[in-house]
Structure 1
Amino acid sequence: MELSMTDKYKNGDFALRLSLLKQPTLSHSLKGIKHGVEREALRVSNSGNLAVTSHPKVFGSALTHEWITTDFSESLMEFITPPETDVDKTIGQLSDIHKFVNESLDDEYLWPLSMPCFVDANTRIPIAKYGSSNIAKMKETYRKGLHNRYGSMMQIISGVHLNFSLSDEFWQHWCPALGLEINKHTISEQYFALVRNFRRMAWMVPYLFGASPALCSSFVAHKKPTHNFSTLGNGTLYLPYATSLRMSDLGYTSSAQADLKICSDSLVNYVESLRAAINLPAAQYEHIPTGEDGNWQQLNANVLQIENELYAPIRPKQVAEYLEKPTDALERRGVSYLEVRGLDVNPFSPVGIDAQQIRFIDAFLLYCLILPSPELSNDDHRFSKQNLGSVVLNGRSPVATIETAEGSVSLKLHAQSIMCDIMKIAEVLDEVNETALYTEAVKQESQKVDNPALTFSGRLLDILLENDVDNSALGIELAKDYNQIFTPETYQFFEKQAFESQTTLSNEKRESIEKQDDCDFDTFVREYFSMACA
């Protein structure tokens, strides 16, 4: 019996699903793709050392400010843009935030690299503080746990997160075309299909956008050498073909998480496996105090204190309400957006990311969505981990390979094949947006596949080697250059008055939260973790 078109689309290959995406109703809905950026940046002194001052009061409360907050440390700022469909508007909003921050910092600068600046062995990296409320104390305690588990140096590595979502209009056409009902479960399953394919090809992100082939020797001064580093300048270490040391075992890693297999096959399985990790005791953390005699040095002694501790290159997300756990938000309302986390800070952009990157990632994520996506096998998990690990350390090697079910293949040839398909997605995006910027973005990224020297990591390392300059010296030079770039520019989307209003409003919100507390911190933590999803 001949299959219906619905069955053909549901079970079809990339070419068939691409033809579905090209249909006018579906292609038009792609104009509704939304993005938001979360950019992390260390504050540094005029000499390029870590600024250990408190989060400046001019930026209001880090607990409640909409656009400017802190991450792990008082020294590590985080800038957040709201979801927008216009890529240039997102970059413009991020530029406005950088402009206000640069104008407001007193003899300090924003570090333009992912790997930290020089940090003296005696430097005490200040853990972020958020006020006296229970939720503020919880955020601080979580960060104390990160310090006690992994050390503070690992936590001041900077990255960029790109949030991505498809419109309701898209799902209203896509789901029925595959014979699926339109509800939170089917939409979530489609997002998870995208996530699975992204994990299969996650190595593409550090290859193209990795920008940390080198680091300051102070970063590994307390560690046993695990890599055969070369040296340049007065104290910069590098690997000749590395793309992202930030994503290597020197960066965001956890031995306790090494054996975790957080399931991406369905929303239910993802939530269950993530909750299991949060409730799984970890012997190596048992010695760290968890509230005994009021001594809170971590939230619990489990593999994950909370969901945010999971290190992953992409996360399915749902906007959580006040005091709502992320897994509860997902279970109640399903996936509403994806957080792409594998991006290094782009040192060639004053705001750490550029519009070309976002447009390429749009096309890449759509490719991951419409490509058939079977459940991840044990081999898939192994290949994903192995490929990511090899690319971050050796991705620009002329003999770099990728492991697949068919065996080891040339990274260059495999990436070229993928790029050909991504280009077809970019053509659809160009047509509906009446532009040529998406295909141009893919063309530019494809050139990096043909010539690794054009990658961010290749360009950065060439600058360091040609000038025999330290990572730290280049970083502070770029930081000062970018500081000057923003000075004469006018605000594009956020007026200066809006930032000043946010300072006042965020402080008022923080004070209101503090007044609402009706129990001690011990009780608050116990009740938070005992609350079941209703």
Structure 2
Amino acid sequence: MLHIEDDTIKKLLLKGKFGFELESHRITMDGHLAHTAHPFPGDPHISRDFSEDQIEINTSPYDTAEEAIDAMEGYMAQVQEALCRKDRQECLWPFSNPPYIKNERDIRIAQYYGEERENTTYREFLSDRYGRYLMTYSGIHVNYSFADELLARNAEIDGVPYDRAYKDRFYVDLAEKAAAYGWVLVALMAASPVMDSSFFQQGVYDGTDFCGMASPRCSELGYWNQFSPMFDYTDLDAYVDKIQSYVDEEMLVAARELYYPIRIKPAGKYSLEALREQGVDHIEFRMYDLHPFSPLGLNLRDVKFAQLFLVWLASFRIERMSGGMQVQAVQNFKNAAHYDLDAAKVTVPGCICENEICGMPKRFSGSVRETAICILESMRAFFGEFSIEVRDNVEYQMDKMTDESKRYAVQVRREYGEGFVRRGLSLAQKRQRQLLQKASREAEGKERG
């Protein structure tokens, strides 16, 4: 737990690193999935997710969210420029839910060759186990790490050395808290309530379906494992051992098949071996929907809120989650993805701090909306003496829960509730033009400079 009463800790609370991963389908100019080969083979920042057409852009870690978004914009412009140069022009689909899908064969598995052939084999396994339709959802992963200076000072106050074990313990504790409370990010960032009828009815296009979810990919309609995972939050070795046991028991073919909204990860490529050997570098939130009202699909305030949320979580203790509470935590994530936040319920553990710094009660249940408001009220008090920007961000999120018209899912349903793909295609083409025009102006400015 962070000692936020300490002046040095207070100064370092918002010092950390951001990194983003953004998935988006390459589509033809008539709204279908592209069947062309991935245009950036070998580029570590522009890769593929499940399908050959599903671009995944990932940034390096940066000291600020603004810097990470600037890097994302550069990669995005690079992608859009390449798609414009194709013989048959393509663009990037701006929603988490897919455009037209002809049938399962229309979703072409990403093709790897030679030493990387295993990546295709793994995707073929996923296709057999889950079906390809579920793999067409796209989203954003927000990665964040706390500054080493912050954790070192915290260890000093605790009277222990700051070493890898201390850092690992911090992130394992944080992962448990994020599992208990992270569903609130689903409720706040959900932006995909409608989808084309071809997702549910093969060959039926241009019908816009509303299935009662604000974010189908995060709901029971999304890709979850066929069991409710249990984690051992005792320490990093226990955490890794538990996940490895699912692989050993063939419940998972590999650790990366564990579909959970939160991961603690090492630097570089993710694997359990790297996590155990190198330790934790950062925590990852995997539940953000693409934001269709932001030019890049990323909203600055939303990704910066992830930092505020993690700082708040790191500053209090919760009761240790039992197996039953962990099962409930998975259900909380699914329930928070519902469109009707008053009908969907959650149950969360409460604070066990002596100073009750978070303002949260003991374990309690309620609707998604009222429980999210309770959390945001706690964050409002917690950040009450911080900058106007920080306080405004919390209020921005609170508005989504207290004013239905401010929720992204409501706005998307209102604007794209009819002709989802046709209207989405217009948005995709508009974004492409705007991004390339901006990149061109900036390039001209550099030449003149």
Tell me, yes or no, if structure 1 residue 438 matches structure 2 residue 410.
Answer: no
Give the superposition deviation at 1:123: 4.1
So what's the TM-score if we normalise by structure 2?
0.89
- 2:161 — aligned with what? 181
* SS in structure 1 at match of 2:433: helix
Partner deviation per Cα, 1:442-474 (whole Å, 9 max, x = no partner): 111110110233111111112134xxx222122
- 2:253 — aligned with what? 305
* SS in structure 1 at match of 2:317: coil
Q: For structure 2, list consecutive stretches of 5 or more residues without a partner in the other structure.
A: 350-362
> Match for 1:36: what amino acid?
G
Counterpart of 1:420 (choices 353, 366, 377) is: 377
The root-mean-square deviation of aligned C-alpha atoms, in Å, is 2.5
Q: For structure 1, list consecutive stretches of 5 or more residues without a partner in the other structure.
A: 1-9, 11-16, 223-230, 281-301, 431-435, 498-534
Tell me, yes or no, if structure 1 residue 382 matches structure 2 residue 327.
Answer: yes
**How has the CA–CA distance of structure 1 residues 320 and 472 changed in structure 2, closer, same or farther, with 3 Å as cutoff?**
same
- 1:171 — aligned with what? 151
- 1:247 — aligned with what? 218
Counterpart of 2:265 (choices 314, 317, 321) is: 317
So what's the TM-score if we normalise by structure 1?
0.75
* SS in structure 2 at match of 1:488: helix
> Match for 1:475: what amino acid?
G
Pairs aligned (count): 427
| Structure 2 Cα separation of the partners of residues 419 and 493 of structure 1 | 39
**How has the CA–CA distance of structure 1 residues 425 and 180 changed in structure 2, closer, same or farther, with 3 Å as cutoff?**
farther
| Structure 1 Cα separation of the partners of residues 409 and 59 of structure 2 | 26
| Structure 2 Cα separation of the partners of residues 263 and 492 of structure 1 | 52
Identity of counterpart residues, as a percentage? 26
**How has the CA–CA distance of structure 1 residues 198 and 140 changed in structure 2, closer, same or farther, with 3 Å as cutoff?**
same
- 2:433 — aligned with what? 484
Give the superposition deviation at 1:303: 2.0
Matches of residues 91-170 of structure 1 in structure 2 within 5 Å?
91-105=69-83, 106=86, 107-121=89-103, 123-132=105-114, 134=115, 136-170=116-150
Counterpart of 2:23 (choices 21, 32, 40) is: 40
Partner deviation per Cα, 1:126-162 (whole Å, 9 max, x = no partner): 2112332x2x111111111111211122112101001
> Match for 1:54: what amino acid?
A
* SS in structure 2 at match of 1:79: strand
- 2:346 — aligned with what? 402
| Structure 2 Cα separation of the partners of residues 196 and 122 of structure 1 | 37
8 Å Cα contact 2:19/2:59 also seen in 1: yes
- 2:359 — aligned with what? none
- 2:8 — aligned with what? 25
8 Å Cα contact 2:335/2:368 also seen in 1: no
* SS in structure 2 at match of 1:38: strand
Counterpart of 1:471 (choices 389, 396, 420) is: 420
- 2:210 — aligned with what? 238
| Structure 2 Cα separation of the partners of residues 89 and 471 of structure 1 | 32
Q: Computing the radius of gyration over CA atoms, which structure comes out larger, 1 or 2?
A: 1
**How has the CA–CA distance of structure 1 residues 264 and 210 changed in structure 2, closer, same or farther, with 3 Å as cutoff?**
farther
> Match for 1:157: what amino acid?
Y
Tell me, yes or no, if structure 1 residue 451 matches structure 2 residue 403.
Answer: yes
| Structure 1 Cα separation of the partners of residues 272 and 400 of structure 2 | 38
Tell me, yes or no, if structure 1 residue 209 matches structure 2 residue 186.
Answer: no
- 1:74 — aligned with what? 52
* SS in structure 2 at match of 1:490: helix
**How has the CA–CA distance of structure 1 residues 364 and 205 changed in structure 2, closer, same or farther, with 3 Å as cutoff?**
same
* SS in structure 2 at match of 1:487: helix
8 Å Cα contact 1:196/1:265 also seen in 2: no
> Match for 1:97: what amino acid?
Y
Where does structure 1 differ by over 6 angstroms across 4 or more consecutive aligned residues?
Answer: 491-495
- 2:314 — aligned with what? 369
| Structure 2 Cα separation of the partners of residues 68 and 41 of structure 1 | 11
Higher relative contact order (CA 8 A, sep 6+): 1
* SS in structure 1 at match of 2:30: coil
| Structure 2 Cα separation of the partners of residues 332 and 411 of structure 1 | 38
